[in-house]
């Protein structure tokens, strides 16, 4: 956990390292950082791939080496990594660079570590719980398109067991077994097939008074009168969120860390999905698994602000630990679709939610 005897800052900055070490000591145990990032306070003589070069004025020098550029001007900080750009606005404490080093050492990716560093306030290390959990101190994501004028309809704060299913047959079967929140994730490019499957699933949702979400295919979901749609982060750039909101369709958004959660909240979705909690083989994930410790912190920050759904690699074995974080819903796939006895699996999983309040 120690930051000492490591090249954390360049040029060497003993005072910053001491503050970073003090902050890191109060953040608890986290997996060892997979990348030993070096925060460069000026353009380095010999750039490295794990450099984060900080500029407080417009860069007047090209930085090569495959690292990241961090531009901090007033209350705005922009991180650039290759073609990716992360812009945040907020109040910067005097310790924000030291906090950035500490959160990087907790194995957070630079954009999430930066989000946490901007939420950090001088003296937070003296609190009983030093982790940033006060939403008011968190920055906002800058340069986003306007959110829809009409807010997305609300959904229950606790959506409970949330099976993600491949077909209308599965949706009908699961709803008949008492599940009241589910999603159709139909992997098909056949428009006729999609329309049939979505229409059947929506009708089943109506028949059972259930919350039925359609994954990705928002146009077909609107046409069928679906309860909701679920979109990924990349879909926000291409989907017509105004059309979804005007149709009265609820919106769930996937997130994979602090930056994406703040970005998603800008659009005032009906719920946020937090994941992937554990490794999953059902789809290719853009980020490494989050784990229960991160999920716990996400719930502490966002609980009461928006309904939350844990997703990714969740089965009956880990479900009690997932629910112990306080999250109000958990999505499952193989725990239902590959269960030897579907009815028994759903009954067992439903009982795990029964004790939630």
DSSP 8-state class, residue 233: G
Beta bridge partners of 86: 79
DSSP assignment string, 237-266: GTS-HHHHHHTT-EEEEEE-SHHHHHHHHT
Q: Consult the annotation and say whether 83 binds a ligand.
A: no
- Residue identified by tokens 């059947």 is 200
Q: Consult the annotation and say whether 254 binds a ligand.
A: yes
Q: CA angle, 187 as apex, 260 and 292 as ends, to 5°? A: 40
Q: Consult the annotation and say whether 14 binds a ligand.
A: no
Q: Consult the annotation and say whether 280 binds a ligand.
A: yes
Q: Consult the annotation and say whether 313 binds a ligand.
A: yes
Pairing mode, if any, of strands 140-141 and 84-89?
antiparallel
60, 53 contact by CB (below 8 A): no
Q: Consult the annotation and say whether 24 binds a ligand.
A: no
Q: Could you give the CA distance from residue 171 to residue 186 in angstroms, rounded to a whole number?
A: 11
218, 252 contact by CB (below 8 A): no
Q: Consult the annotation and say whether 6 binds a ligand.
A: no
Q: Could you give the CA distance from residue 122 to residue 173 in angstroms, rounded to a whole number?
A: 54
Beta strands in the chain (DSSP E): 9-10, 38-40, 51-55, 68-73, 76-81, 84-89, 140-141, 160-165, 181-184, 211-215, 228-231, 250-255, 271-275, 308-311, 329-332
Residue 276: cis peptide before it, omega within 30 degrees of 0: yes
Residue 244: C-alpha distances to residues 82, 152, 218, 223, 250 (Å):
32, 8, 7, 10, 8
Q: Consult the annotation and say whether 287 binds a ligand.
A: no
Q: Which tokens hold the place of 250?
A: 């609820």
110, 68 contact by CB (below 8 A): yes
- Residue identified by tokens 């309809």 is 153
Q: Consult the annotation and say whether 215 binds a ligand.
A: yes
Dihedral of the CA atoms 105, 106, 109, 111 (nearest 10)? -90
Q: CA angle, 175 as apex, 174 and 181 as ends, to 5°? A: 100
Q: Consult the annotation and say whether 186 binds a ligand.
A: yes
Q: Consult the annotation and say whether 282 binds a ligand.
A: yes
Q: Consult the annotation and say whether 235 binds a ligand.
A: yes
Please give the annotated binding residues for Mg(2+), written as ranges.
216, 235
Please give the annotated binding residues, written as ranges.
183-187, 215-216, 235, 254, 280-283, 313
């Amino acid at each position: 956990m120690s930051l000492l005897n490591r090249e954390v800052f360049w040029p060497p900055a003993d005072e910053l390292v001491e503050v970073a070490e003090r902050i890191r000591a109060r953040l608890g145990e986290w997996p060892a950082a997979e990348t030993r990032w070096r925060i460069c306070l000026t353009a380095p003589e010999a750039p490295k791939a794990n450099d984060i070069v900080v500029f407080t004025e417009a860069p007047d020098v090209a930085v090569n080496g495959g690292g990241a550029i961090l531009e901090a001007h007033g209350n705005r900080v922009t991180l650039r990594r290759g073609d990716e750009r992360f812009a945040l606005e907020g109040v910067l404490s005097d310790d924000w660079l030291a906090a950035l080093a500490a959160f990087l050492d907790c194995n957070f990716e630079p954009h999430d570590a930066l989000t946490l560093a901007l939420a950090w306030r001088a003296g937070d290390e003296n609190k009983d719980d030093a982790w940033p959990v006060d939403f008011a101190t968190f920055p906002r994501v800058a340069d986003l398109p306007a959110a829809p004028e009409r807010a997305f309809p609300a959904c229950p704060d606790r959506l409970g067991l949330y099976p993600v299913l491949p077909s209308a047959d599965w949706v009908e079967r699961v709803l008949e077994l008492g599940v009241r929140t589910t999603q159709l994730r139909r992997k098909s490019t056949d428009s006729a097939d999609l329309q049939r499957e979505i229409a059947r699933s929506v009708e089943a949702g109506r028949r059972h008074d259930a919350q039925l979400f359609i994954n990705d295919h928002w146009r077909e979901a609107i046409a069928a009168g679906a309860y909701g749609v679920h979109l990924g982060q990349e879909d926000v750039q291409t989907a017509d969120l105004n059309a979804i909101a005007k149709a009265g369709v609820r919106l769930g958004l996937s997130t994979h860390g602090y930056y994406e959660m703040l970005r998603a909240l800008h659009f005032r979705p009906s719920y946020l999905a937090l994941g992937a909690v554990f490794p999953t083989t059902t789809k290719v994930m853009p980020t490494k698994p989050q784990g229960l410790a991160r999920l716990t912190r996400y719930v502490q920050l966002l609980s009461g602000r928006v309904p939350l759904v844990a997703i990714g690699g969740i089965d009956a074995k880990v479900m009690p630990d997932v629910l112990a974080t306080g999250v109000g819903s958990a999505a499952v796939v193989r725990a239902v679709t590959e269960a030897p006895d579907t009815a028994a699996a759903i009954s067992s999983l439903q009982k795990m939610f029964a004790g939630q309040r």
